[in-house]
Structure 1
Amino acid sequence: MAELDVDLVTTDRTIWAGKARLVVAPAADGEIGVLAGHTPLLSVLKPGTIRVRLAEGGSVEADIEGGFISVDSNRLTAVVDGATLRTGSVAEAH
């Protein structure tokens, strides 16, 4: 299955980066799901949870306070205002 390169960042640090099969994010107009091959996209994010299904299995979830998401050429970048990885997420083990 095709993969996305994902970067979840704040203005001063990387929260999580890696390969994903699917990213679901709380866009201003409702939740948006992004798979590899998605058309270019730029959207405002509202407070909520970003859910990342990892390419190798498992998932990462982060509660965010808003921000924006950019998608182009199988690369997704979410620049967020404040983010907290949820307890038990795969990313906390790394």
Structure 2
Amino acid sequence: MALTVELVAADRKVWSGEATNVVARTTDGEIGILPGHAPLLGVLVAGEVRISGEGEQVTAEVDNGFLSVDHDRVTIIADSATVGADRGN
């Protein structure tokens, strides 16, 4: 099983693909999402989002937004988001 993940900033699609887990910081604290996770709508705070897949990890800095989980689909909508390579990592 895998998660279908989409990371979107206000002005563009930043990243999309399949992942085995997602970790993000919400107003309630850091949360980890695995396949089969219960539906969720969370409010993101500025910080790091980590998306892990088969042999790949994507790290993005986000500024506030929302995280939605439903039927193994994770949608992250942020005011702004910068993926590792874009940040100079």
Give the TM-score of the pair, scaled to structure 1: 0.87
**Deviation (angstroms), 1:10:** 1.5
Q: Which ranges of 4 or more aligned residues in structure 1 deviate by more than 3 Å?
A: none
| Counterpart Cα distance in 2 of 1:30 and 1:50 | 12
Percentage identity across paired residues of the two chains: 48
Matched, 1:59 2:21: no
- Alpha-carbon RMSD: 1.5
| Counterpart Cα distance in 1 of 2:80 and 2:46 | 10
Q: Deviations over 1:22-46 (max 9, x none)?
A: 0000111110000010000000000
Q: Give SS of 1:65's match.
A: strand
* Structure 1, unpaired ranges of 5+: 89-94
Number of residues of Structure 1 aligned to a counterpart in Structure 2: 87
Give the TM-score of the pair, scaled to structure 2: 0.92
* Structure 2, unpaired ranges of 5+: none
